[in-house]
């Protein structure tokens, strides 16, 4: 695995851990100040890490569990990198029936002054 693949895999692990421990504040910290999340299907774009934090808190509060990001490809070009991968999650309805769902994910990252990567765009289907 390349360095950027290792770094993005670690970011994915942080995202999944924060999501699955219901810590939306930690999710928000993974995004650049003016990042944009474009939810599926054709949801309204969510702009800024605070709004993104609130958005993911809503998914957590709605009962989404067992979030998992899986890296397929990561490429770096200067101060930008992108990730293509898959995502998965689940919900349990009031009858206790588990529903799983998932799809494709694409994120673009910008290298920060401290050398870390933060997401600037995030879209999934």
The predicted-structure confidence for 60-93, as pLDDT tens digits, reads as follows 999 999 999 999 999 999 999 999 999 999 999 8
CATH numeric code, 3-124:
3.10.450.50
Per the CB < 8 A criterion, the answer to whether 31 and 25 are in contact is: no
| pLDDT beyond 80 at 102 | yes
- Stretch 93-104: mean pLDDT: 93
pLDDT digits (tens, 9 = 90+) for 18-40: 999 999 999 999 999 999 999 98
Q: Give the containing element (helix H, strand E) for 105.
A: strand 98-111
What pTM does this model have? Answer: 0.95
């Amino acid at each position: 695995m390349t360095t950027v693949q290792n770094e993005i895999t670690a970011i994915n692990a942080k995202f999944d851990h924060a999501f699955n421990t219901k810590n939306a504040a930690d999710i928000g910290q993974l995004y650049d100040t003016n990042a944009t999340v474009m939810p599926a299907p054709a949801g309204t774009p969510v702009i800024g890490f605070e709004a993104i934090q609130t958005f993911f808190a809503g998914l957590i509060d709605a009962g989404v569990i067992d979030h998992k990001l899986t890296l397929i490809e990561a490429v770096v070009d200067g101060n930008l990198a992108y990730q293509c991968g898959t995502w998965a999650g689940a919900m349990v309805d009031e009858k206790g029936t588990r529903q799983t769902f998932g799809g494709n994910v694409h994120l673009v990252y910008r290298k920060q002054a401290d050398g870390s990567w933060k997401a600037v765009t995030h879209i999934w289907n």
